[in-house]
Amino acid sequence: MRSVTWRLRRRLGGCCVAERSEFEFFAKLSIGQYIPTGSVVHRLDPRVKLILGLFLVIAAIMISSIVSALILTVAVILGLRLARVQLRLAFAPLKIMIIFLFILALIQLLTIPQLKTDATVVFQRGVLKITDRSIVSAILLMVRFVVIVLGLSLFSFSTSSSEVIHGIEHLLRPLQRIGFPAHELTLAAHISLHFFPILVGEAEQLMMAQAARGADFGYRKWNFLRKLRKMLPLLVPLFIVSLKHAQNMTRAMESRCYSGGAGRTHYVRLHAQPADYLGLFLGCGVISSAMVVNLLHVDGTVWGLLRELVM
């Protein structure tokens, strides 16, 4: 279920897909999928989404207040709801990372008190020491991470890869004046994105062909070296096939008189509508309000209020 669109894309890439088979590389990959629901978020100009995504990540890294981190989390979850994507899909990658996240938070919790001794000690036993500051930074680490992962999921769920590429190209266009090869770079990125699922399909086909001749890609998960050795025979034909693809692609482009760079017009023209400006305005509003809250240092006050309510 998680990998629905991924598989769909692979099918469109013209390759065969085996259900319940040992030849699936990326079936469990769920980040980077596009889930077309046609929602408001999907229809938003990709440039707006790119800018907001960038701001969101920057804000999530800069903030040091739990309240503003929570504001960002709620905003992203609202965005996911607005995109009409199942929240389950967005949280799926978090489930895989949760253990690492806990370990990282634990390290923060225990090491910060050793380095910064100016905070109030909440708990101490021997060398183990936990301060209020380390608790805050451990929580912040987790919430930050959640915000960034959910934000990226929201972006990729609602923006198709070609929209991303067009958006990036439009945003980079002013840099062309100073000689930055915006078009060429984005074209290269576009082509590699386009070929990725095709190559995955080819790799699967190769694995199946080799398994048909008795190669055992089997279930022995832990024998990494052996597995690696089994993978080597895949690389050579895969490399050859991708070179062939590249050659065909250049020929196809040249036969249509492609020449990059200046003077190219575009089939897809991005025109920001009033709704896009509104989206940009709202998004920036939410993010900057989180920043303002961060500057106001309201955490202590909120904490006190909460304690009074509970008491």
The footprint of another protein on this chain (CB under 8 A) covers a number of residues equal to 30
Q: Which stretch binds another protein (CB under 8 A): 51-59, 65-73, 206-214, 257-265?
A: 206-214
Q: Does 236 bind another protein (CB under 8 A)?
A: yes
Q: Does 39 bind another protein (CB under 8 A)?
A: no
- Residue 169 or 202: the one with the smaller Cβ distance to another protein is 202
Among 213, 221, 256, 269, indicate the residue that binds another protein (CB under 8 A).
213
Q: Tell me how far, at minimum, the Cβ of 233 lies from another protein, in Å.
A: 5
Q: Does 289 bind another protein (CB under 8 A)?
A: no
Q: Which stretch binds another protein (CB under 8 A): 47-55, 135-143, 230-238, 269-277?
A: 230-238
- Residue 104 or 211: the one with the smaller Cβ distance to another protein is 211
Q: Which stretch binds another protein (CB under 8 A): 40-48, 56-64, 208-216, 299-307?
A: 208-216
Q: Tell me how far, at minimum, the Cβ of 311 lies from another protein, in Å.
A: 49
Q: Does 246 bind another protein (CB under 8 A)?
A: no
Structure tokens at 277: 């400006």
Q: Which stretch binds another protein (CB under 8 A): 15-23, 57-65, 118-126, 288-296?
A: 15-23
Q: Does 13 bind another protein (CB under 8 A)?
A: no
Among 38, 174, 233, 304, indicate the residue that binds another protein (CB under 8 A).
233
Among 44, 50, 130, 234, indicate the residue that binds another protein (CB under 8 A).
234
- Residue 19 or 118: the one with the smaller Cβ distance to another protein is 19
Q: Does 162 bind another protein (CB under 8 A)?
A: no
Helix/strand/coil (H/E/C) assignment for every residue in the chain: CCCHHHHHHHHHCCCCCCCCCCCCCCCCCCCCCCCCCCCHHHHCCHHHHHHHHHHHHHHHHHCCCHHHHHHHHHHHHHHHHHCCCCHHHHHHHHHHHHHHHHHHHHHHHHHHHHHCCCCCEEEEECCEEEEHHHHHHHHHHHHHHHHHHHHHHHHHHHCCHHHHHHHHHHHHHHHHHHCCCHHHHHHHHHHHHHHHHHHHHHHHHHHHHHHCCCCCCCCCCCCHHHHHHHHHHHHHHHHHHHHHHHHHHHHHHHHCCCCCCCCCCCCCCCCCCHHHHHHHHHHHHHHHHHHHHHHHCCHHHHHHHHHHHHC
Q: What is the maximum alpha-carbon separation in the chain?
A: 77
- Residue 39 or 289: the one with the smaller Cβ distance to another protein is 39
CA distances 98 to 88, 90, 165, Å, are 15, 14, 31
How far is C-alpha 191 from the geometric centre of its chain's CA atoms? 19
Binding site for another protein (CB under 8 A): 1, 4, 7-8, 11, 16-21, 23, 205-206, 208-216, 218, 233-234, 236-237, 240-241
